[in-house]
Structure formats: structure tokens, C-alpha cells
Amino acid sequence: MASLNPDQINAVHAYEPAVLVLSGAGTGKTRVIVEHIIWLINEKGISPEQILAVTFTNKSAGEMKKRVLARINQTEKQPWVGTFHSFGLQFLRKYASYINLKNNFILIDDDDQISHLKKILKSDPILLEQFTPREAQVWISRYKQNISEPKDSPIPPPNSHFLKLWDIYQDTLQSQGMVDFDDLISLPVKILEEHSTIRERMHYHFTDILVDEFQDTNHAQFRLVQALKGSHNRVFVVGDEDQCIYSWRGSDLNNILNFPKIFPDTTIYRLEQNYRSTKNILLLANKLVEHNENRLGKKLWTQNDEGDKIKFYWATTDEEEAEWIANDIQKNQYPLEEVAILFRTNHQSRPFEEAFRKRGIPHIVIGGIRFYARKEIKDIVAYLRLLTNEEDDDAFRRIINVPHRNLGQVSLQQMEVYAKQKQKPLFHVLRFIEHDETFPMRTRKSIKEFVDLIDEIKLVSKEKTIGDTVKYLLEKTNYWEYINNIAEKEGKDREKSIQEFITICEQNSMKEKSLLEFLQEFALLSDIDTQQPQKNAVHLLTCHSAKGLEFNYVYLTGLEEGLFPYLDEDDPYADIEEERRLCYVAMTRARKRLILSGAASRLYYGRVIPDRLMSRFLFEIDLQNVEVYGIKKNVENNKTIHLPDKKMLPTKEEKKREYRLGTKVRHAKFGYGVVLNTEGSGDKMRVRVRFDSGKIAVLLINMAPMEIIERKKN
């Protein structure tokens, strides 16, 4: 406590009914949360088990819990520290019956959800024409995060067919005893809001609710916090509105902006002293984010050294950008594990990978094929799921012919029809089919062997640990031979990931968890929970993936209009302020040096895009504060470029006049159209257009891939 700064101490000692701690990047927020928990226990006499602390990743929750337990005397009574979803999972285990859900429910992950939606869409030609699986998933998530159903939600459905899709999807989950990720929050909220006895029980059990990374909460998570707090308990949230970068997955910036309005007795504390970055890095980061209007406001400062001046390199091409950065890393002899290359989109990694391979620079790309999405892992988990829930048709379909059991497509289709007629789960009807002489003898023999195999492994699983059960099923199913044959053809090492999975199982066996509990919690894991920094390797990752990390040397690349800020033709409503926050997050990952770069020409999805413009963010941080290197047309390399005159850029009013009523435009996706009117101002200025197809759309001028064909004269 003695080493905390005055602002941190004030936040730690906060005991008001509602506390909002605005904690900037690198200001020690995790330590403040830990110290606040310790202070509640030691100074205020709060029983540890009455404290609930939630965050977003298992990794950060584990670190927080470890630091807390190292400081408290009680070993039997502990605070509940975990993620929102792990809390929802434990809550549902206890109260599932209140929503007619079986206790042995299976939690399906993102890939399983997409698999179910594909099957639903393929079975209905009209739905297949209306939705892609990913679009369906996004809309379903939108309603669940809003704690509503399409028929009674303020959010209008995308079309009249969505109601049918929703009902089929929900019936599928219900019939197979499954829940998806969004259910882990929305269902507990429904139970708490509809059952006062359970709500009062929670209020009595948890007197202090703590939330980390509050800016990342969605509507459902905010409702959960409200339901748990009640009118008498305390809520202590820590967040940074300037680091809200996940709206595309449901995060709602208004949760933190409106917190003082929703809880009128809120006290706000600000943590602004940064312990990570140099003065020069913070100077630019502050200048950038100050252009946002939707913020409560703070300004980072540091007692660290001024540090090196920020560099910006404007390359001829993206290949030259990568070559320059590779050369700069080698020239400065940076320890490779302390270097990060950040980019806005995954496809930007290619030129860096090529440049590093050419120079023999070890590197790792964060965000390749996810460990938990690998075929071999999904196969094994499907076997385990079927052991715990014979009604899990999705797991059954995945493994019925893995390894191959001489069951052809015709036989599998017959099983589906048979199960539908009997109105039974697929695995259950196998016990009928093995005695049904309408099926060929060969098919019945294979089915009997599969049923006996599952029954045998299930029996063994009741006596063996989870790790030993996995080893047993791998041997009995001949899965090792099957996967090694596949790996040999692909030239991949799949055995290594299976061994890693067995290790995870053995670690959970030591915690004395049941197979069902392991499967439910396993579905919550993500690669970020097991991801470790690589020694002697440069890290290549997106700006989103870099959140929560820090490096001594950061190269922030691709600073070009249309790339960063990212202009997506499929998302004309993209929020420029969120793009700016993302750039701010990327900048504040750097401890010692920050190097910015971009390219005048870039290979983009197989097409060379020339004459690119520098990102508006570069002008917002004021390039006069930056050492600028690079090229301009017909100018030799390594000479300072001439910056475009900001006076040449259209003013807000000029831009609005460009899109007056009757102006003809062409949109990259929607084609030709005519402007009906404009609305809003600044970065939020929108234009309403009627396209030749009859479609009317409201588009964000700064983001839409649209050009003026003919201006309407005065």
C-alpha cells in the first residue's frame, strides 16, 4: 500500500455505494482492484466469500485471484474471482431448473453454434436464401445480449423470416440440452429479475461487486451487475472509455459513460499516472484520443524519461514498409521477444512474414488456427460430450464415423430420418437400429460396435481421471492411428496438440472436477488464456489482440486512410471514434519506443491499391512532433516527405455541401444512387441515399466506400 500513488490510494479506500475508477492505460488498475479487495477484508471486515470480482479473461482472473490469495489469512473462505461467463456457468449449474434446463447441459462454443446454424439453414431453402450462418449468429447474439426475443424486442428483426430461424435454433438448444455463450449471461439475468427469492439470496451472499475492464461490458453484463448489486450493496467498477474497442462483439460504451446517471450516488476516481510509457509516447497518445467527443476525460502523464522521439516511415509499398522495419530491428539489435509488429487486419502480416523469413528473423503470428478449434481437439471433446449427454446430436454427428466405421452417407441419412420419426436423439435410436432388420447387417454390426464402445468408455470414465479417460478412448477408438495418417498426408504435427490437451485434462483431474464440469469450463477457454510470450521471436499481431499486452519496442503499421481507420464497405456505420480508440490502445502498448509506418501502395486481397493517403490519425497527433522518413513521388528514398496541406482537406461544412439533395453518387456495393438528405455533423455526418435498385440507405460519409458522380448545382 505504501508504494501506491495518492490517486490509487483514494480509489483503494473508496467505500461509496457506487464507484467508477477511470483507469488509463498503464496506470496499475489491476493492483488497485487487488488492494481494494484486501482493504475490504482487512479494514472493513468484509468476509472474503461476500466479495465477487469479475473480469473478461481466465488469464487475468487467475492472476488477480493468485495475488489476492497470497495476501489474505483465510484459506477456507475466499473471494469469488473469475470471468462473467464462468460466473454465469456456476449460477446456471445451481439454478438451471428455474428455466427448465437440465443440470447436465452442454455449453457449445462459437464453432458448434455455426455448425448448428448451417444445418438449420440447409434444411430450409427460404432461410438459406436469407441468411449466412455468421449473419444468423450475429443477429441471435444481438437479441440475447439485449435480454429479449425478436417478437417482443425494441430491436427490429432483419426480416420476417428471422422469427422462424430464432424459434428453430432455440428449440434445437432446448431439445439437446445445450446453451451458447450468450445464454451464460442472459439466462442468469432472467432468473434474477424474475425470481425475487434468488435475487435476495445473491444480495445477501455478495455485498461487494467488483468489475474489471468495465468499458468492455455489453447490455446483458450490465444488467447482471445491476441485478447483483440491488439497492443496498456496493459496486466498484474499473474501466477506461478510451480503450473501448469491442463494439463489434457487443461492448457498449454507454455503460461506462452513463454509469453516473444510472447510479446517481456514483463517485468517480481517476488514475492518470502511467508507469509504462515514455513522455513522448504519451504526448502523441493523448493528442490522438482528445479528438474523441464521447469520453469522460483524463490525461495520462508519467515520471518516466522523455524517451526517443516517435518515428514515422512512409514507404513506397507494403513490401518496402516490411523491409524497412526488418532492417530497423536488426540495425538496433532489439531483443526479439521485446518487439511487436501491430496491424489493423490479419492479412497485413504477409509482407512481414516474408521479410523476416528472408532475413532469418524468428517470429510468431498471434491469431493463427486456434488451439481449441483444431480438428483433433474438437473430435476428442465430441467423444467426451457424448459420454456426459447422449442427447448431444451435434457431438454424435461429428464422431459417428471418426475414425471411419463403414457407415456411408446413405446409412447416416437413414439414421437421421429414423430419429426424426421416433422423436429421439440420434444416439438413443442406435439401440433400436442394431435390432432393426430393415438396416443392412453390415450397418447394424458397425452401429452395435459403436454403441458398445461408447458404453464401455462411459463406464471406464466413472472410475478413471479425465486424463486417463482421454488416453483410454484414444486407444480404444484407434484415433491415434487415424489422426497420424491424416497428419502425414498434411505434413502437420497433430500429435503435439493432443498431448497438450491431455496435459490440460490431467491438470483438471488434480482439481477433482467431474467430466461434465470440465467440459462446461473447457468451452470457456480461449487461446489468450494459455498464450505465452515467445522467447527470441518478434510478435506479429492485430491491434485488437495486443490489448492487455506491452512491449519495449512497438511498430504500428499500415497507417493509411481506409486501412487505419478501417473503412469496411459492409459496415458503413463503423464508428470512427472506436477506430481512434483502437489506435490509442496500440500506441500505449509501447514502453520505450514507438515507430509508426504506412505505405503509398499496398497489395490488398490480391489487388495493388496505389496512391494511398496517410491516415487522418497522423495529422491529429501533429506530425511536427514526429521524425518523418520515407518517400514522395519522384523524391529519393530516406528524405523527409512533404506533408499534405491540411487546408486542402474539406471542412465539415464543405463536405456537407458536397452531398446536397440530388447529388448523384456511386457506392462500391450498392451501385448508383441519388442523395436525399444529410444529417449530423463532423465524423458522425450521414447521408441518406436512394439507389437505383430501390434500396434506401443511411451511410456514414467518412466511412462509406462512395464517390460523387455528379454534383447538384446550386
Buried b (16+ CB within 10 A) or exposed e, 183-219: bbbbbbbbbbeeeeebbeebbeebbbbbbbbbbbbbb
Question: Among 154, 176, 198, where does a domain finish?
Answer: 176
- Band (520; pLDDT cuts 50, 70, 90): confident
Question: Among 524, 550, 580, where does a domain finish?
Answer: 524
What integer is the mean pLDDT of 366-383? 79
Residue 463 and residue 379 share a domain: yes
Residue 151 and residue 23 share a domain: no
Mean pLDDT over the full length of the chain: 86
Residue 496 and residue 390 share a domain: yes
Number of structural domains (the chain) is: 5
Pairing mode, if any, of strands 607-609 and 602-604? Answer: antiparallel
Residue 194 and residue 56 share a domain: yes
Residue 64 and residue 14 share a domain: yes
Percent of the chain predicted with pLDDT > 90:
54
What integer is the mean pLDDT of 28-49? 94
pLDDT over threshold 60, residue 528:
no
Q: Alpha helix locations (H) across 423-494? A: 426-433, 441-461, 466-476, 479-490
pLDDT over threshold 80, residue 643:
no
Residue 198 and residue 88 share a domain: yes
- pLDDT tens, residue by residue, 454-507: 999 999 998 889 999 999 999 999 999 898 888 777 766 788 888 888 888 887
Instruction: State pTM to two decimals.
Output: 0.77
Least confident of 449-463, 523-537, 602-616, 674-688: 523-537
- Band (692; pLDDT cuts 50, 70, 90): low
pLDDT higher for 638 or 542?
542
What the block records as the C-alpha cell of 514 is 467431474
Residue 258 and residue 146 share a domain: no
- Domain CATH code at residue 518: 1.10.486.10
- pLDDT tens, residue by residue, 294-344: 999 999 999 999 999 999 999 999 999 999 999 999 999 999 999 999 999
Q: Is 651 domain-assigned?
A: no
Q: Is 478 domain-assigned?
A: yes
pLDDT over threshold 60, residue 702:
yes
Residue 436 and residue 343 share a domain: no
Q: What is the three-class DSSP state of 234?
A: strand
Domain that includes residue 672, residue range: 663-708
Q: Is 649 domain-assigned?
A: no
Q: Which residues are catalytic, by number?
A: 29-30, 212-213, 243, 589
Residue 335 and residue 190 share a domain: no
- Band (649; pLDDT cuts 50, 70, 90): very low
| DSSP tally for the chain: helices H, then strands E | 29, 22
Pairing mode, if any, of strands 18-23 and 266-271? Answer: parallel
Q: Is 658 domain-assigned?
A: no
- pLDDT tens, residue by residue, 592-609: 999 999 999 988 656 788
How far is it, in rounded angstroms, from Cα 298 to Cα 584? 13
Question: Among 524, 548, 567, where does a domain finish?
Answer: 524
Least confident of 247-251, 263-267, 549-553: 247-251
